[in-house]
Structure 1
Amino acid sequence: MAEDRNRRRFSDPRAAAEAAFRAATTPKPAAPPPPPPAPRPAAVPAAREMVSLRLDSAVLTHFQKDGPGWQDRINEALKALVPSLQD
């Protein structure tokens, strides 16, 4: 082990400088392009979505006066107004 420490390493400063310059100026390989985004799942037919909707207080009071299920009643009233959604 003492022999390893006592050995001199002969190096050429010019060759070392050229190698360092080459390493610094050589273009790095381009990173692979990012994968395309995952496709969004298709909408489930007849699925409900959470929305925020501003209603007049009189309209809200009308639908809430019969108790729970007022969101379903509003949904049915709106579906009745859209011709393409009527069963």
Structure 2
Amino acid sequence: MWQPEIAQKYEKAALELERGVTPQRLYQICKTVLTTVTGHHDGLLVIYVQKSDGSPDSRETEKYNVLLKEVQAFARRTVIVARFHWAARGFRW
């Protein structure tokens, strides 16, 4: 139900990332990624790729899942590094 809205947020974030963002904005984007890449009914992990006839495309779905997990891992690392940095520096970038 929320997947089109999530897709729009991802597209907007991708454009921002291409232009360059502050560390604070990168942190916010990564937090959004981590909340949207989940297994609940509105999360991005429950999506599968379809062939033109509407049937599931297991090969493309696997590629999608690999990409999604890589994005999730990047977001998780970024958030952890930011929190560590904040703790060591008094919550300043």
Whether TM exceeds 0.5 here: the answer is no
Greater Rg, structure 1 or structure 2?
A: 1
Larger fraction in helix: 2
TM-score, scaled to structure 2: 0.24
Structure showing greater relative contact order (alpha-carbon pairs closer than 8 Å, 6 or more residues apart):
2
